[in-house]
Structure formats: C-alpha cells, structure tokens
Amino acid sequence: EGDRKKISIGFSQSVGDDIWRTSMNHAMEVEASLHPEVSLKIYNANRQPKKQIHDIEKFIEDKVDVIIVSPFESDSIVPVIEKAKIKGIPVIVVDRKVNTSNYTAYLGADNIEVGRLAGKHLVSISKGHANVIQIYGDLNTSPGLERSLGFKQIVKQYPGIKVFDIDSDDFGHPKTNYIKLLDSLSNIDYVYAFNDLIAYNAWKIAKDKGVDKKIKFIGVDGLNGPFGGIQYVKDKILEATVLYPTGGSEAIRLALKIVNQEIVPKNNKLNTILIDSLNADIMSNQFDKITIQQSDIEQQQKIIKNQEKKYSTQSNLLRLLISL
Ligand code: FRU
C-alpha cells in the first residue's frame, strides 16, 4: 500500500471569502480524500492577482503533478500559466476564462447559457413586459460579461422589457445607485443579479424600503444549504436562481485522469438549470443525497485507514515475534 505513487495537486483559488468559493474548496477536499494517493494543497489569493501569480509560481517550484486554477483576472495570469505548461505541468482552468489557449483543460458551466436561462424565465413570467434592474458582479470577468450577454440576447427581442444596469461592490452589495433607482422608478418589476449573494442583498435593501413584494429577484449559483440560492428560492426571497456548479469534485477527477495519461477534452462543460419554486425541493433533495453519500464514503475511507493501521501494527508485532 505504502508504495502507491503519490499525486500532488495544487489548487490556486482566487476569491476566498464567499460561500461559492468555500463550497468549491470543500468539494475538492472531499473528492481528494476519496483518493488516498492524492495530496491537495489550496492557496488562496484573496482577490490579489499578484498573490495568485506567486501562488502558482510556488506550485511550479514544488513540481506538483497538476495545477488547478480558478483565475481572478484573465490577463495578468497568462504568463504564469504558460510557464507551467512549458515546465511540463498540466493546468486545469475552472470558472473564469484566461486569455490564452496554453492550458490543458477548462472546466465550467456556460455563462452565456446561464444568462439566457435567466432571460427566458423572465420573459415567460413577465409575458414580455417588465422593468428590470440588472446588477453586475465584476464586469471585467468572463462570467460577468457572459451572464449579461446571454441575458440581453434574449430580452432584447422583447421591446416591452427595459433593462437598467447597476454595479455591485466586491462583496456583493449593490452600489448606491441601486437605491436611487428604486426611489426614482416606482415600477421596477425584476432584479436580475449576477449571483445569489448580490440578489439577496438587493432583496434586503428592497425589503427595508418596503418594496420587496413588488419585485421578483433572480440570482445565479444555486448552492444547496442554509445560505444558498436554493434555500432562498424555497423561502420565496428569490423568484429563481440559475445553477452554476463550482466544479470542485469534477476538477479533482479531471486532474487524476490527466495524471493517468488519459486523453481529456479541452473544454469540459458543466450543466446548468433554472431553479424556481417548482423544482427547488427536488434539487435540494438530490444535492443532500450526494452530500450524504460522500460523507458515507469519507467515513468508510477513515475506517479502512484505521483498519490498515491496526493491521500493520499487528503484522509488525507478528514479524517481531517470528524473528525472536
Ligand atoms: C464567487 C462568484 C460566484 C460566481 C463566480 C464567478 O466568487 O462571484 O458567485 O458564480 O464567482 O466567477
């Protein structure tokens, strides 16, 4: 058992402080723990592009077997990704895109499709007549750009739908012009926010003003659990959310395939789906089941490890006795 080859995976996380990111890290840790030969190291760049570059440099120096990167910026990170490739270390990019094709594989859901799903849902419930506030996360990122692009592709076909664009800050709070818009236009029907956290914060502000009942909120991410989008849909805080899977466990599985010399597709698409009151329960039940299965397997792994330990002390003892 002891001579099974160790596989080291380095993961460079970009934004460390929200539940989508912690849930991605957690999914990776769980998946890694299911493969005893894997050692996973996670560095968190805390939104600092320089720190992220430095973290990846460190993985290159340490000669890890695979690097997984969830990029903060799409440009500044290019040289270090290319450097890893030159040094022969495969790189998997997850979520945000990078402006080079010199990586091994990309993994993530299609954000244009995410935007379109939100747009189609809005068209169908509003019957093509609505005033909408779209609240961006970071417009400089590929998810930000594409979620807006997909959404606008759909709603622009309906002249009865008007969209006002608003920014949010780094921590998911709509900027003050959101409040101004709510004040000046009394007929806002929908808010489409780029993630569930922003959608929740926008709802909270509307609630404090007493206008939350007039507005339907649509978010993105659809995490399971107490502060996730699915729960917000169940609580009727959000009208809907669009699932944007973190890809944590898939990234580890992809890394293992690459290390084992399997040929993998360059673009690995994760599925997305619209979650509203009709399917929120089914979705959370399904996710709960997966979580339970995973923790069962984790439990089993622990038991096996303990047994192995016991067995090896016993056999050492036996060997000792024989040698006497
Ligand atoms: C979390 C997050 C998610 C979003 C993703 C896009 O940091 O904003 O809500 O889906 O990043 O990069």
Predicted-complex ipTM score: 0.95
Residue 195 CA: nearest ligand 1 atom is: 9
From ligand 1's centre to the CA of 141, what distance in Å?
10
**How much is the average pLDDT of 176-191?**
90
The rounded mean pLDDT for the chain is: 93
DSSP assigned state of 188: -
Q: Tell me the DSSP string of 91-151.
A: EEEESS--S-S-SSEEEEE-HHHHHHHHHHHHHHHHTT-EEEEEE-S-TTSHHHHHHHHHH
Q: Which atom of ligand 1 is nearest to the CA of 137?
A: 8
DSSP tag of 141: S
Cα–Cα distance for residue pair 108/244, rounded to 1 Å = 8
User: Ligand 1 pocket check: which of 21, 112, 113, 139 to mutate, most ligand atoms within 8 Å of Cβ?
Assistant: 21
Shortest-distance atom of ligand 1 to CA 14: 7
Q: What atom of ligand 1 comes closest to residue 196's alpha carbon?
A: 9
Structure token digits, residue 284: 């959370």
* Burial tier of 119 (Cβ tally within 10 Å: 0-12, 13-18, 19+): buried
Protein residue whose Cα sits closest to atom 9 of ligand 1: 195
Atom 10 in ligand 1: residue holding the nearest Cα:
221
CA distance 232 to 286: 17
The string of pLDDT tens digits covering residues 249-258 is 999 999 999 9
Report the pLDDT value the prediction gives residue 138, as an integer from 0 to 100. Answer: 79
Residue 108 CA to residue 208 CA, distance in Å, equals 36
Quote the radius of gyration of the chain (alpha carbons, Å).
Answer: 23
Task: Give residue 1's pLDDT.
Answer: 46
Q: Quick one: average pLDDT of 37-52? A: 96
pLDDT at 4: 65
Q: Where are the alpha helices (DSSP H) in 62-141?
A: 78-86, 111-126
Distance of CA 259 from the midpoint of ligand 1 (Å): 28
* pLDDT tens-digit series, residues 103-133: 999 999 999 999 999 999 999 999 999 999 9
Pocket of ligand 1 (CB under 6 A): 15, 18, 20-21, 95-96, 137, 141, 143, 195, 220-221, 244
Residue 191: both structure tokens together: 């808010």
Predicted pLDDT of residue 60: 98
39 DSSP β-pair partners: 8
